[in-house]
Amino acid sequence: MEIRFYKYQGTGNDFIIIDDRSNNFDISQQTLVQKMCHRHFGIGADGMILLRNHSQYDFEMVYFNSDGRLGSMCGNGGRCIVQFAKDLGIIPADKVVFFVASDGLHEAYMKENLIYLKMQDVYEIESSSTYYFLNTGSPHHIEFVTGLDELNVYERGRRIRYDDYYHKIGGTNVNFAELGRNNTVSVRTYERGVENETYSCGTGVTAVALTTYFKGFESPVKVYTKGGILSVSFEKTEKGFENIYLIGPAEFVFEGIYKFKR
């Protein structure tokens, strides 16, 4: 058996993308997804994305974590699949795109080689003296720290990710953020499903940017990740945060054919 795949990355968050408009890929093949995403025995990726037809919108995004399980919304993956759809010629480069993901409908557009991805509105944010928790398509625990570069993100993030408090939602993604000057913030993220620190996390960057509002920041917020720079714009309303956009590059890396035995 063989599968044609395309590799894309958004600020170092990398994905295997498959044009599955024919619906040939069996989404129950958890082991196959694991093998394809494996850094040493496969192609290597933080996750896999299927592009599928949708009866009402431009396409559907089906996202898998690198552990092979169907995942929640992935912001950088969302930007990458929009770039992929434009590269395939499914949609014109100047067209506003509408697609369905695990958390519902999204829209996106391209401007000056950046993908502007509209995220879901956020109306509920849990907070304490030490952390924030919110869902931006995926659940995110956020702690503001000093000395971010020296922090052991794997050890500390893993402990929070598997804390009993988050057990009821299947664990959480964990972000550590350090405030900078002029509406800038640096972020490092431990991602569930990858079970390690990633170079960037789009829904995590979005979550952190929103919580900087409570630190006196204004939209847009520039966010530094290990893999590059993203921006998040938003409107603060009486209900919460609306018109949220995750903004950044999405780039083709390579394509190939993955051959395997059943």
Active site residues: 74, 201
* Helix, strand, coil percentages in the chain from 3-state DSSP, rounded to 5: 20, 40, 35
Count of other CB atoms within 10 angstroms of residue 2? 9
Cα angle: 188, vertex 235, 123; to 5 degrees = 75
Q: Any residues with CB less than 8 A from the CB of 168 and at least 6 apart, and which? A: none
Q: How far is CA 178 from CA 54, 125, 143, 228, in A?
A: 40, 19, 9, 15
- Give the separation between CA 109 and CA 196, rounded to whole angstroms: 30
Count each helix (H run) and each strand (E run) in the chain, helices first.
4, 17
Question: Are 212 and 179 within 8 A, CB to CB?
Answer: yes
Q: Which neighbouring-strand residues pair with 16?
A: 7, 48
Q: How far is CA 217 from CA 30, 57, 179, 226, 234, in A?
A: 41, 35, 10, 21, 11
* Nearest to 51, CA basis, from 26, 23, 10, 89: 23
- Give the separation between CA 158 and CA 252, rounded to whole angstroms: 30
